[in-house]
Structure 1
Amino acid sequence: MTAPVPRIGAIAVVVTTGHVLLARRRNPPDAGLWGFPGGHVELGETALTAAARELREETGVLAEPLEYLTNIDVLRHDAQGNVTAHYLLAAVLCDFVSGTPSPADDVIEAAWVPQEQVRAGTLPMSDQVDVLMEQAIRRDQTRRGPPRA
């Protein structure tokens, strides 16, 4: 049996005033959970481009990829503790351009979710959604500068 090799994925993190764009997954391993739209990086494609493409394919929303937020290792194990899958996800901060979230591809729901709802943990969510949201909010505020009076 061939050992699993790490795969590269990209997720699109889009925040607006008071909301974050999330998608609920149809397929395992996160079936039924809310998380950031995203998927596999294709050969020759940057993770920045992949994040924007996956966002469009899964939700119909257009956004400009701005910068990398962080990387996340996702490791799946079997009952004996052996690694069965390893994904390295590049979290990409994206700036909303246009579109109304509509589920497509492997997404069963897509919506602008209030940031307070994410903080409260009232949705079933994938790992680190709240942490990434807060990181994106801070980075977006730094990038945009203080609000104007």
Structure 2
Amino acid sequence: MSIDTTLAGASRPVVAVIAVVIREGEVLLVRRANPPDAGLWGFPGGKIEPGEPLMDAVQRELHEETAVTARPVQVFNAVDVFDRDEHGALKSHHVLVAITCDWIDGEPVAGDDALEARWVRLDRLAQENLMLSADVERIAHQAAALI
């Protein structure tokens, strides 16, 4: 069976930011409430508003989803997220711009688009039995290597 790459409901990729916040060997994760990746654990983040700079968007989204305050440091990766229907047709395409952020203040409290928010030890990501979004472990370790 071939996968249909035509757009069923989406017209263009949506650009969003993800905040990769690492503090004392832990990474901040949220369990997503909405597609794409609803129910899965990933980085806090969301869509960029028209005219909003990346670094402002990542601070805003981080605080809305977790109540954590952090200083954006650098863009270091971008990830494609494809949401497909049961026939393989593309429903949406998100491009997630990964930005490292230095924690300033606050403990995670789920808000906005998050069902849960918490710190997870980097060295235990694979053992935590969390259903992770694609590339979370790889992106977390890549960010940790930059710090």
TM score, norm. by length of structure 2: 0.88
Question: Would you say 1:47 and 2:49 are equivalent positions?
Answer: no
Distance 1:12 1:54 in 2: 8
Q: Secondary structure at the match of 1:50?
A: helix
Work out which of the residue numbers 35, 42, 46 in structure 2 matches 1:35: 42
- The equivalent of 1:12 in structure 2 is 19
Residues 16-75 of structure 1: per-residue CA shift (max 9 Å, x gap): 222100111122332221110000000111222211110000000000000001011112
Q: Which runs of 5+ in 2 are unaligned?
A: 1-7
Alignment RMSD (CA, Å): 1.6
Question: Would you say 1:122 and 2:97 are equivalent positions?
Answer: no
Distance 1:109 1:2, change over 3 A: closer
Shift of the alpha carbon at 1:120? 2.7
Work out which of the residue numbers 26, 30, 34 in structure 2 matches 1:23: 30
Q: Secondary structure at the match of 1:101?
A: coil
Distance 1:29 1:86 in 2: 9
Aligned residue pairs, count: 140
Distance 1:2 1:105, change over 3 A: closer
Alignment of 1:1-149 (within 5 A): 4-120=11-127, 122-140=129-147
Contact kept? 2:10, 2:93, Cα under 8 Å:
no
Moved over 4 A (4+): none
- The equivalent of 2:5 in structure 1 is none
Shift of the alpha carbon at 1:98? 0.4
- The equivalent of 1:146 in structure 2 is none
Q: Secondary structure at the match of 1:73?
A: strand
TM score, norm. by length of structure 1: 0.87
Shift of the alpha carbon at 1:119? 3.2
Contact kept? 1:59, 1:110, Cα under 8 Å:
yes
Q: Which runs of 5+ in 1 are unaligned?
A: 141-149
What residue identity is the alignment partner of 1:88?
Answer: V
